[in-house]
Amino acid sequence: DEFGQIDILVNGVGWVDTPWGLFREQTRETWEKMINLNFWSTINCTRAVLDHMIERKYGKIINIGSEAGRTGEYRQVVYSACKGGVISFTKALAKELGRHNINVNCVCPAGVIPEKAEHAGELTMTQGVSQENLPPELKERQIKMYPIGRLAVPQDVASTVAFLASDVASFIHGQTVSVNGGYSTL
The tens place of each residue's pLDDT in the chain, 186 residues long, gives: 687 899 999 999 877 556 678 999 999 998 999 999 999 999 999 999 999 999 999 999 999 999 989 999 888 899 999 999 999 999 999 999 999 999 999 999 988 777 766 665 555 555 667 767 778 888 888 888 889 888 888 899 999 999 999 999 999 999 999 998 888 876
Show me where the domains of the chain are located.
Answer: 8-110+152-179, 113-151
Assigned CATH topology for domain 8-110+152-179: Rossmann fold (3.40.50)
Rounded to two decimals, what is the model's pTM? 0.89
Q: Measured between alpha carbons, how far is residue 86 from residues 2, 95, 131, 175 in Å?
A: 30, 14, 28, 12
| Cβ neighbours for 14, distance < 8 A, ≥ 6 positions apart | 37, 38, 64, 66, 125
Task: Give catalytic residues, as residue numbers.
Answer: 79
